[in-house]
Chains A and B, each alone.
Chain A
Amino acid sequence: MGEHHGPAKGITRWLYSTNHKDIGTLYLWLSLIMFFMGGVYAMCIRLELLQPGIQYFDPSLYNQFITLHGLIMVFGAVMPAFVGLANWMIPMMIGAPDMALPRMNNWSFWILPFAFSMLSLTTLMPGGGPNFGWTFYAPLSTTFAPPSTTFFIFAVHMMGASSIMGAINIIVTILNLRAPGMTLMKMPLFVWTWLITAFLLIAAMPILAGAVTMMLFDIHFGTSFFSAAGGGDPVLFQHVFWFFGHPEVYIIILPAFGVVSQIFPTFSRKPLFGYVSMVYATAAIAILSFIVWAHHMFLVGMPFVGEAFFMYATMLIAIPTGVKVFNWMTTMFKGAITFETPMLFAIGFLVLFTCGGFTGLMLAIGPADFQYHDSYFVVAHFHYVLVPGAIFSAMGATYYWLPKWTGNMYNETLGKVHFWLSFVSINVLFFPQHFLGLAGMPRRIPDYALAFADFNFLSSIGGFVYGASQLIFVYVVIQCIRGGTGKVSEKPWDGAVGLEWTLSSPPPYHSFSTPPDPKLIPDLH
């Protein structure tokens, strides 16, 4: 029972936890470790691409690097980062004592380290780890895959189980544990985006489980889902995968939208502009995300109507996303802006995510995608939305809430250095990739023609600088946990509103053991 008001002593605090903050912390550390692991793969990729020719890694090893880089960044770094933030912040934002189902919460977390161990162990097996790209298209991932694929499949099953349970927990918490007076339309936008993301997760992850299950049967039991010789179709795999895969990219970005929707009002000292339209836009994006999947498959030979339909549906997503972008701009408009590190990351997010969105719209144009598809132009697009999109947002969130979590202020100067180094180097890293793609460089190749040498060199240099800059982040976080630049009050940001800022910094072990005074709940629109 909740009689003990402090954490347990020693390691069991973490192993057996039922506390949303401890579990949130576990998620966040896992995410950081995975970000570095995925980052090491990324550095190997950039190292090999520094110059034409094969310098360090055999092509088959390179293929494993890109696969694991993609998988680990998406499933290991970004998703746990936002689940960690949800764990920490949602109960505090809605005035709840904890997550609704605390034991299941811990289960969702602990599956992940085991799943990623399983995934990592594949690299030591004969034949090497998964080498078919993070999209694992059949039959490269079935008939032609290394034996370790069975382990890869089970690792994906485990990640899926973890995500579904985590999402159920979040939905239940939001729907059932809001403090009296916290109506749905008073919830902070971060909570709203997570509510919708959780729905996407519950709908999309089982589809992924279905896809890998069919793979498993094709590999081991002679079924022919993805083999034309038995009446199946390799393209069927892509349909199933992307029916999961496209919602997945919004699973990644919606919580990021939520985070910046918290940060912009705080540092503009002005309420979020268009709260209601933000909620509707988020819901619109979520719904649309289920009817656009085949924009990843413009080249598979879909019938003309299919091609046209998916092109139009995809273009539509620009509208609600645009609403969000304009709302954020207007939130800052006529505010009184200051530029602490979280705000810098949020502005960086706004600028660069929009750039990634623009290229997304270009990719959505079917005929044009006939040239862009599977070229570095796509790589540039999705890194713009993923790195300065999702990662910037997660890092901004960390700076934003770190004082709340630890009770200490982080080193602002170092934070700003981290931002500016990241902001500049990320563009050196990914902007030239647009040119490479347009000039005809395919993705997923370890070696390339000489015409692509210069931009690749440039991109790699940017990559190394960006990678090295992330060490600053780790330093700032640890320093802040250890005391930082001094203690902070319950509300370190003068412009911040919301229930989480009414709790002490660091907050009590059980967030709201008694529901907060309804008068404390701010009206957001």
Chain B
Amino acid sequence: MSSNYYIPDQSKFPILMSASMFTMLFGFAFVLNSIKGDSLSHISVVAAVLGLLAICSITFLWLRTVVVENIEGHTSAQLQKSFYIGMGWFIFSEVCFFAAFFGSLFYVRVLAVPWLGGEGDRGSSNLLWECFNAAWPLIQTPDPEQFPPMKNEVVDPWGIPFINTLLLVSSSFFIHWAEGAMHKGERQKMILWLVATLAFGFTFLAFQAYEYHHAWTELLLRLHSGIYGSTFYLLTGFHGMHVTLGAIMVSVVFLRTLSGHFSKENEFGFMAASWYWHFVDVVWIGLFIFVYVM
């Protein structure tokens, strides 16, 4: 068993990856600080961009190495199992990341905003914000000068968000069927379902982009529109980023399928993308319910 567990040779990727992360974030931090008035030096922009490019290239090379090792037959069943367990826990950590934002949403909705509006245990806080009434979605903020209100109109959950829900949920089924096709060795069907998954995924992103535009320009819902805008954009924004990442993963899987990489015995790359896709789907359902509908 463990006697043939594959221990890779020395690798330059990890340290280069760490250095690139450092470069990117260091540059990016300077760029961010320039928003508040520090002067922006071009070197920091260059560092941020170079760092990002380096991260992308190293990720590509690193994953390619893993694929090549796989093709060379180093990926024993036990190693695959390591990958599976690892991926599972990685997704769990992502769930926890979203939990922080969902938790914040619940806290402000159930506790903080009502307190500010004069209800409950800390209701006397309303003395400081006498014109403020608690409501959700929070249109009028306690201090409208600092956090200018949005229009008195919210995104209709049964419009685009509902369509988006249908898109993501069905794409989750598509990738599941692609998996079934892979197990049966029906490559054509698998490719078809993957194309469908991707098509729906990208349509979702396009709708989401359209809706952001609408909310930002027409509803005047901004990041600085108070806590409603804050939670709305951070939750949907991070979700959108994860869908993008998932779509990239599925795209890679799609290309690899075209090159005939996956089989019943050797399917980790596919399964990882598939799990991830289901995960962003589940998060969306949470978003749909708690951000849009309720």
Q: Using a CB–CB distance below 8 Å, which chain A residues touch chain B? A: 1-2, 4, 8, 12-13, 15-18, 95-98, 100-104, 106-107, 109-111, 113-115, 117-118, 147, 150-151, 153-154, 157-158, 161, 164, 167-169, 171-172, 175-177, 179-180, 202-207, 209-211, 213-214, 216-217, 219-225, 227-233, 235-236, 239-240, 243, 301-304, 510, 512-515
Distance in angstroms between the alpha carbons of A232 and B146 in the assembled complex: 13
A16-B15, A172-B89 known; 5 new pairs, CB 8 Å cut-off, are A176-B85, A177-B2, A225-B231, A229-B143, A230-B141
Q: How far is the CB of B108 from chain A (nearest CB, A)?
A: 6
> Which residues in A have their C-beta under 8 angstroms from that of B222?
222
- Residues 83-99 of B, flagged 1 when their CB comes within 8 A of A and 0 if not, give 00110011011101101
- Of B22, B94, B223, which one neighbours A223 at CB under 8 angstroms? B223
Beyond A151-B29, A236-B107, whether A18 also contacts B227 by CB under 8 A is no
Q: How far is the CB of B224 from chain A (nearest CB, A)?
A: 3
Q: Using a CB–CB distance below 8 Å, which chain B residues touch chain A? A: 1-3, 5-15, 17-19, 21-22, 25-26, 28-29, 32-33, 35-36, 38, 62, 74, 78, 81-82, 85-86, 89-90, 92-94, 96-97, 99-101, 103-104, 107-108, 111-113, 115-116, 120-122, 125, 128-129, 138, 141-143, 146-147, 222-231, 233-234
Distance in angstroms between the alpha carbons of A106 and B17 in the assembled complex: 11
Q: Is the interface of B mostly helix, strand, loop or mixed?
A: helix
- Of B15, B143, B223, which one neighbours A221 at CB under 8 angstroms? B223
Q: How far is the CB of B122 from chain A (nearest CB, A)?
A: 6
Distance in angstroms between the alpha carbons of A219 and B224 in the assembled complex: 11
Beyond A210-B101, A217-B234, whether A230 also contacts B224 by CB under 8 A is yes
Beyond A16-B10, A229-B141, A230-B230, whether A110 also contacts B18 by CB under 8 A is yes
B97 lies within 8 A of A209 (CB):
yes
> Which residues in A have their C-beta under 8 angstroms from that of B8?
1, 18, 102-103
B14 lies within 8 A of A104 (CB):
yes
A114 lies within 8 A of B99 (CB):
no
> Which residues in A have their C-beta under 8 angstroms from that of B2?
95-97, 177, 179, 512, 514-515
Distance in angstroms between the alpha carbons of A164 and B227 in the assembled complex: 29
A514 lies within 8 A of B107 (CB):
no
Distance in angstroms between the alpha carbons of A167 and B96 in the assembled complex: 14
> Which residues in B have their C-beta under 8 angstroms from that of A100?
82, 86
Distance in angstroms between the alpha carbons of A510 and B231 in the assembled complex: 49
> Which residues in A have their C-beta under 8 angstroms from that of B90?
164, 168
Distance in angstroms between the alpha carbons of A150 and B29 in the assembled complex: 6
Beyond A220-B32, A514-B3, whether A243 also contacts B103 by CB under 8 A is yes
A202 lies within 8 A of B14 (CB):
no
Q: How far is the CB of B215 from chain A (nearest CB, A)?
A: 15
Beyond A96-B2, A232-B108, whether A240 also contacts B230 by CB under 8 A is no
